């Protein structure tokens, strides 16, 4: 029970860090935290599939514009 609560709080913190880094214009760090959040949600099984897929697809765009094509392809595939 405590591990699940800790994991959920970590996901919340990562989500907030995505927003902070977006706000200060650090897209690279925002993308990193977004990826970690998506990975943790997937590992825990704690997500809404449509929201998760939308977020993975949105993150793929970040990777496209930063020329990280393999990561973009991976996230597009995961969103499917």
Write the pLDDT tens digit of every residue in 6-15: 777 787 888 8
Report pTM: 0.82
CA proximity to 79, closest of 58, 29, 44, 40: 58
The chain-wide mean pLDDT, for the chain, equals 90
Q: Is 35 helix (H, G, I), strand (E, B) or coil?
A: helix
Contact 38, 56 (CB under 8 A): yes
CA distance 55 to 51: 6
CATH T-level fold of 2-79? 1.25.40
What crossing angle do the helices spanning 49-65 and 69-79 adopt, rounded to 10°? 160
d(CA 10, CA 41): 10
């Amino acid at each position: 029970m405590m591990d699940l609560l800790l994991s959920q709080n970590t996901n919340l913190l990562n989500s907030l860090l995505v927003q902070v880094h977006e706000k200060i214009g650090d897209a690279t760090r925002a993308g990193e935290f977004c990826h970690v959040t998506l990975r943790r949600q997937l590992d825990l099984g704690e997500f809404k599939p449509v929201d998760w897929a939308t977020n993975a697809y949105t993150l793929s765009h970040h990777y496209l514009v930063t020329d990280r094509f393999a990561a973009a392809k991976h996230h597009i595939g995961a969103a499917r």
